[in-house]
Structures are given as structure tokens and as C-alpha cells.
Structure 1
Amino acid sequence: MRCPMTLASTASRAAPADMSNRLRGLQSDARELDDTAVDIRGHVPPWMLGGSLLLNGPALWDLPHGSYAHWFDGLAMLHRIRFAPGNAGGASASYRSRYLQTDDLRESLAARKPARGGFGSPSPAGWFHRLRHLRNPVVTDNGAVVMARIGSQWVAQTETPLLTSFDPDTLKTTGRIVYDDAEVIHVMSAHGITDAQGTYWNVGVEMGPKCTYKLFKIVAGSRTREVIARWAVRQTGYLHAFAMTPTHVLVWQPAMRVNAIKLALSGRGFIDNFAWKGAAGSSIDAISLADGSVRSWAVPAMASFHAVQAWDEPSADGRSPATLVLDLCTTDGPEIFSAFRLARLRAGEPVGVQHRVQRYRLEPGRSDAQPQ
């Protein structure tokens, strides 16, 4: 089933009429296109090879009877830009797009309003529905954040454990990944990492009175989440991504901490169940890929969505344990979590959040690390 273009066009009328072209990416008028020629301005380098650029993102926020409240929550669209080298150094490009055919999309189109909650949009489900599904909550499968691979199989993902596969050539949705294990994971990093062997790595959290992090991998051709390490915390920090070196996985816990009971029962947008705990600081966990052991370093309170890079720095004598180095894009407060509310963006308000890249040196024998 393709998303009806007429619905997208009708829904776009619910968006503010005074949005300028610079805000066009916030309007609900994205259409599915079939290999449409792209106008190339300037010159394509003669050494450029053919290939495709794949990406996904939110595309439909406004439905006839309701809208999403946060930019992140728009229903997902897959995009492909294909480059083809031409004669005498010329080149051509074509663009193709498809809505990701998820349960969230189908239910929302049928209801003509958002059917599930999101990052900053409330759940329409009633309190008794949430209580009945307490152990197995109904969460979004709207894979609008990033793409990844399990072996050669492409998947679109968000911050839940629900992965949706698609064909990278046609962009046709091919179905939900059905795991064949019994692991309970409620939230998951949106940025899984695929290694050189095609193994997919990710970090998820099982919510409860104590929250349990789980580092797992899925080898190519498998549907089993093989857990490498588990470690418990009282309140998990907001998890969006993690970093990986040849020897360790690095997970940072921002000072934005979840109330697990509120998350299960409140019906509010996902991030609205978190609170800034600046006095408690933050931490960075390092999980050994060799034995699954976990070490932690306390760091000053920060928030971070993404790592820039991470690596192992050998000791001077070559015999002592290596220092782990992590570069993060950080902020000092929680403002980033409300900066992308759709109403603010459509009003043209600046994001106004200052980021900086900070380096953390996780030295063996220490329990803290100061940013550089």
C-alpha cells in the first residue's frame, strides 16, 4: 500500500499558510516520486562514480483530524538519489521516494490522526489501554531517524526496538524484523552500528524499577539478539546513539533521566517523561567486547545526541591498558530536547542551542573524566 498523495496534499492545508520556502521541509506535502530527473547545477567532478545516496526522515506531520507536535515524529519517508556518470564527464541524477509502510502509518491514515505517540507527541491511547499493555507497550515503528544494515538487509529505525526492512533499490517496504529471542527491550539507540562483517550492534534498555542496559548484536542472516553485556542503573539517561572502538562500546548517560513509571503510564510524549538531573552529573560506560565487563567514568552534567569519533589510544609502554577517547557533541542543559517542537520551527524561531565538541579521555585506573 502506498501513502495516498491526495491525503498528503489535503493534510498540507492544515499546516500554517505563511511558511516561506525556507521552511518547506516542515510542511506535510511530500509526495512519492518515481525516478524523477534531478536538475544538476554546477559541475559534477569527472572522477565521480555512479551510486545511490539513501536517507530517511520525517515527512508527514499533519493529518485531517490531528497533527504531531515534534519535528522528529513526522511519518517516515525513504529517499534515494541515484547518480549515473555520463559521457564527456557529464552526469545525471534521479530521485525516488516512498513512505515507509509501518503499522504507525497505516493506523494513522485510517484514523486520519496520529495513532501512536512519539518523541514529543502524546499517545492517543487511554490510561486503561496503557495499563493493560504495561509489560508489552504499544510503541511506534516509525523508522524516521536513520538507516542501517543487518548483513545485506537494509532497515529503517527509530528509538524503539522495532526495525522495518526495505528494498534499497525500489524503496519498497518488505516487512518488520521479527526477532526469535525472548529479550525485553523497551527503548533502543536509533543509531545501530554495522561492522565490517555485516554484524549489527545496538544498545537497548529494559525499563523497570531498575533500568537494565543491554548491548547486543545480530549477525548477518540471523534474527537473534545475542546479548553481550547487561548492566543496571537506577534511572537511565536519554539514549539516542553510542560509539564503538575496536575493543569497546561506549555509552554515555546524559543528565536527562527518565521516570520509568511515568513513561509507562503518563501517555505524554516520550521525552516529556524525562527530567534534567544536573546535580547528579553524567557518566560514560565502556563495555569490553572481549568479555562484556563494564567500567564507568563520572563526567560533568551534559546532554548529547551523537558522537563524533572514538578510538583506543595505546599506553606509552605498550603493555598497560589503553585509554579510550570519545569525542561528543554536547550541550550543558536540556534545551535541545524542546528546541525542535514543530510549532517553534514553523514560527521561524531559532533553535538557539549552543553545541560544542568535547573530548573525554577514559583513563584506566580512574573513575572520572574531565572534558577537554
Structure 2
Amino acid sequence: MMNKNTRFIIKTIFSSLIRRRSRIMIALLGVAIGATVLLGMITLCYDIPRQMGQEFRSYGANLLFMPANNQPTMPLADVKQAVNLLPQDKLLGVTPFRYDAIRSNQHPYTIVGTNFEQVTKTSPYWQIEGSIPKNPNEIMIGTDIANFTKLKIGSTMPISGKSKQDSRFDEDLKITGIIKTGRAEDGFIFIDLHDLEVLLEQSDQAEVVEVSITATEAELKHYVETIKNHINTIDPHLIKWVTQSESSVLGKLSSLLYLVTFVVLVLTMICVATTMMTVVMERRKEIGLKKAIGANNQSIAKEFLAEGLVLGIIGGMIGVVCGLVFAQVISTNVFGRSIIIEFYLIPTTIIISALVTVIACLIPVKRALEVEPALVLRGE
């Protein structure tokens, strides 16, 4: 239960705020805007690595598995073991690749065996005309090959080559799609990895494995070291142009958001300080009267700081609601996904808003303490 003195102080504080509600509303609006930007920007800063990580995955994989110890291939069983060392909730796709040289109508080509379901996850930038192969002896060809051979979707492409056991193979493969990437893939023939293994008479091997995972550069380096320490047949590498670009963009974007937040908080502090300074000037006679009847500087300072604290808490609570909406709208419009809210940021925002408001009140309080009762009461 509150004693009479405490209830009187609280009543006095709220009465003072209500009497000057037109000016206090300006300060309250400033605090609410500051809290809105603070929570919105910090929420975005915490969630942007996840959002941008998913956006960057559209540029391709960010982790590469290569055979270790100068071996031409690596066992897929070891690849599976390495993948199990990664956080499964962040894993977007794992695509194995196997390469071989073949001929078609006396022209040399590179045929690539892969998992088509996974390649669409690790290489979403592939532009596919037609569809991916779903049946045996179906292939996709790069746009450069299509232009050179004049082959179209539905055409048959004869190929010939040698297996790893030195036996020859000749097959007629049906084209179901044409790939355009603007990269080396435009000059390759793509076939299901299992079908290529049948032709090569060698199974469960891969030359390259692309991994797409939502993680920062530091996390990726940790995963690389973990795999190296547990599996000696695989040599994992970061795809540096992807990871470095991602880290650079995230760093600059986070710095920009923090800078904007800092500027808004400074402006909030100036707004509150200016408003409270005006309130002090309006209450000079009241302050002088209180001092004249025995109020000390400490009690007057506490009263003004308490008003600032109440203002900060109320403004912070309004800003929290607006900030959550603000962050959600930006995330939906920019990334097309809902943001993940860190709920501990809500009380943190209210506390920071209250602290900023109290700090902003320090100069007006100092001015209030300088009021001379005798001069004020004489009307000077």
C-alpha cells in the first residue's frame, strides 16, 4: 500500500502533466517516435542477417565441398556425414555434382550429373526453359549448346563415351529443358546423377558438392573447421565472393540503421529538453513559491525528473506498439517475409526511452534549481 505522501507526489506529477498537456503532448510524441524508430531499427538489425541471408541464397551456394588429399572424387556417404554436422534448421540445400567428358555428333561436351531437386535450392538463379528431367535418359542442356546444335525441347541428343571401367556407352537422351545462367553452366549437359553413375559404372561419388546455408561468414568458418576436424576425405571451402559480399552489405546496412537510430534518439532528447525547458519557464513562480515555503532543490529536481520518467515510460510504451508495426511493415515490403521479434527488446526499448527522457530533463532541472524565490515572487 502507498502512503499518503507517495500518493500526493504521484497525483502532483500527473496533475502537472495534464495541466500542460498541449506542450507535454509534443514531448510525448517525440519520445514515441524515438521509441518507434529505436525498436523498429534494432529489431531489423537483429533480423536482417536472417532475412538478407535468405536473399543472398538466390545468388547461389556459399559453402563448397571438394575431395581432399588430391583425390578425384569423394564418397557421398562422407558428404552426408559432413552435412549432418551442420545445423539442419539453417540448411537450404545440398547439391552433388559429377563431371565427365562425352561426345555428341563428334563434338566434345561436358556432361554433369546432379540432383535436380536440390539444384533448384542451391542455384535458384538458374533460368530454366521447359522442365527438369524426371525420367531416365532425360537431360537439360545449356543455352550455348542449344544455340550451337539447334536442338530444342523435346529433341533427342545422341551421346557416346567411356565408363570408368573402359567400356563404351552410346545413348540417345531426350531434352526436357534449356538452362541459361550467364555462367559456365550454359555450356554443359545436365543429367540425373544416378543416370550418370549407370553410364560411368561407378556409384556414390561426387566431385563437387554445393551447400546453401543461412549463416554469417564467422559461422561458416566455424562449420568449415568442424568438418575438417571430423572428416578427412572432404575439403570444405567458403565461396568467398558470396560470403564476403554478404558480410560487407550486412555490416554497412547495420551501421546505417544504428546511425539513424542514434540521430533519432538525439533529436528526441532535444525535443524533450526544449519542451521541459519551456515548462520550467512557465512554472518559475510555482518553483519560487515552493522554495519560499521550504522545498529544497532535491525535492524539486525529483519532481521534474519523475515527470520526465513518466513521460518516457508512456512514450516508450506507445513507441513499442508502433515500432513492432513499423518493423513488420518494412520486413514485409522489403523482404516479403514476416520479421522474427525478439521480445526482450520491448522492455529494453521502454527503459532506454525513459533514460533518454530523464537525461533530456537534466538541463531544464538545472535551470529550475537556479530559480531565486525572492526575485520570482517580486515579479522580476
Normalised TM-score (structure 1): 0.17
Q: Which has the higher strand share?
A: 1
Q: Which has the larger radius of gyration?
A: 2
Higher-RCO chain (CA-CA 8 Å, sequence separation at least 6) = 2
Structure ranking higher in helix proportion = 2
TM-score, length basis structure 2: 0.17
